[in-house]
Structure formats: C-alpha cells, structure tokens
Amino acid sequence: MNYIIEGFKNSIELLVSFDKNLYDIIFLSLKVSCIATFISSIIMIPLGVYSGITGFKFKALFSRLVYTFMSIPSVIVGLVISIILTRNGPLGFLNLMYTPYVMIIAQSVLISPLILGLTYNLSKSRGKDIKEMGVTLGANKLQIVILVIKELKEDMLMNNITAFSRAISEVGAVMVVGGNIKGCTRVMTTSIAMYNSMGDYSMAIALGIVLLLISFIINNITYTYSMED
C-alpha cells in the first residue's frame, strides 16, 4: 500500500516541477494527435458530407464498410502501415518508421473511418433539408457540401473531439510503428505501459493523471454542448 501512496506523491511532484521528460512525452502526444485529427478532418468531413447527402450505387455496402472500419483494432492499422513502410516494404525508401511522422499517419488512418462514419451519419440524417435549400438557391455540389458543413459545424466539432479522444488514448498502432523511442516517439499511452512494466509507478501515474484530465475536459465540453441543445 505504501508504494501506491508514494507513487501518487511522486507523480504530483513530477507534474508540479514540470519534469522535462514527462512534459516532452505529453507535448508529443498532443502534437501527434492534434495533427492526425486535423489531417483526417479536412479529408473525411467533406467526403462524409458528400456521401451522406448523395445517392449512389452500393451506398448500403459503403455504409457497412465505413461502420466496420470505425471499430478497426489499432494493432491491425499499425501492422498494415508497418508492412508498407518497413525497410523492405513498397514505401520503405521514405524512412518513416520509428518517427513521429509515421505515428501521425497511423493515428490518421485509425480515426479517419470514425470521422467519416460520424459525418456520414450526421449528414444523412440532417443534411438533406440543407441540401434542398442549397439546390433551391442554385448552389452547385461543392457549395452544397460547404453549406452543410457550415450548418452542422458544431456537431462536426463534437465528432472531431470524439476522434481526438480515440487518437490520444490509442496505444497499439503507435507502439508498432513508433517503437516507443525515448525523446523521439514516446507518447503517453506507450510510456504508461512501459513504466508500469518497469515498476516506475510515479511516471505511469503522472501520465495517467494527465490522460484523465484530458478525458475530463473532452467529456465536459461534450456534456456542456449536449445540455445546451
């Protein structure tokens, strides 16, 4: 019991003393997840809106595939990207393995189906009336997509927050492609797993506290928004 109490005390000391190693891990985690969420959003939101308000052949199959990939295991994403980018892989010449860049790629691939699926579902249920209004005003397809995004931007922001929360709490894919290298690819989730196995509970608890705070902030924003609605 004493080692648990001591671990909590030391973790608080690490946080308030702005331990460089600790905060380097935190900032890298935030950087990777923020960039991955941004990249996925600018690609998948327009695609999700367009597919949601447009009728096309095999739309039912498209829906099933999107919803399936929304819950794809992160280790599978890491494995596929690793195979492609490893030294002997088709894109191995890029030398991206075990860098923050490949971690961004992995998280982007992981959360893209989530953003696409949430946006698609939102646009399918609430975007048709907006589309009809745009058509009445003489808007073209691109303008209609932009109009739907503007009208549903608050809901889409909530979807992005959901995707970000999955990205920053993800461990499997970034462990496979990043390797958890100190000062280079070590993020909060992989560090917690490592420090726990090493018995360094102070660092593990400190990082766990930060992840919980991030989760609390995300859930608080979502709850506040839902109450306003």
For residue 212, with 0-12 CB atoms within 10 Å meaning exposed, 13-18 middle and 19 or more buried, which class applies? exposed
Structural domains counted in the chain: 1
Query: Of 65, 33, 41, 28, which Cα lies nearest the Cα of 157?
Result: 41
- Whichever domain contains 48, its CATH number is 1.10.3720.10
Domain assignment present for 182: yes
Domain contains 72: yes
Q: Which two tokens stand for residue 100?
A: 């923050």
pLDDT in tens, 26-63: 999 999 999 999 999 999 999 999 999 988 888 889 99
Domain that holds residue 177: 28-190
Any domain includes 139: yes
> Residue 105: what pLDDT?
96
Question: Within a domain: residue 64?
Answer: yes
Mean pLDDT of 130-141: 89
- Residue 6 located in a structural domain: no
Over residues 92-129, the pLDDT tens digits come to 999 999 999 999 999 999 999 999 999 999 999 898 88
CA 199 to chain centre: 29
Residue range 136-173, pLDDT digits in tens: 888 898 999 999 999 998 889 889 998 999 999 988 89
Does residue 100 belong to any structural domain of this protein?
yes
User: Do residues 107 and 173 make contact, with C-beta atoms less than 8 angstroms apart?
Assistant: yes
Q: Would residue 12 count as lying in a domain?
A: no
Q: pLDDT value at position 226? A: 60
DSSP letter for each residue of the chain = -HHHHHHHHHHHHHHHTT-HHHHHHHHHHHHHHHHHHHHHHHHHHHHHHHHHHS--TTHHHHHHHHHHHTT--HHHHHHHHHHHHSTTSTTGGG--TTSHHHHHHHHHHHHHHHHHHHHHHHHHHHHHHHHHHHHHTT--HHHHHHHHHHHTHHHHHHHHHHHHHHHHT--HHHHHHHTT-TTTT--HHHHHHHHHHHT-HHHHHHHHHHHHHHHHHHHHHHHHHHHH-
pLDDT of 201 over the 90 cut = no
Amino acid (one-letter) located at 192 = I
In a domain? residue 215: no
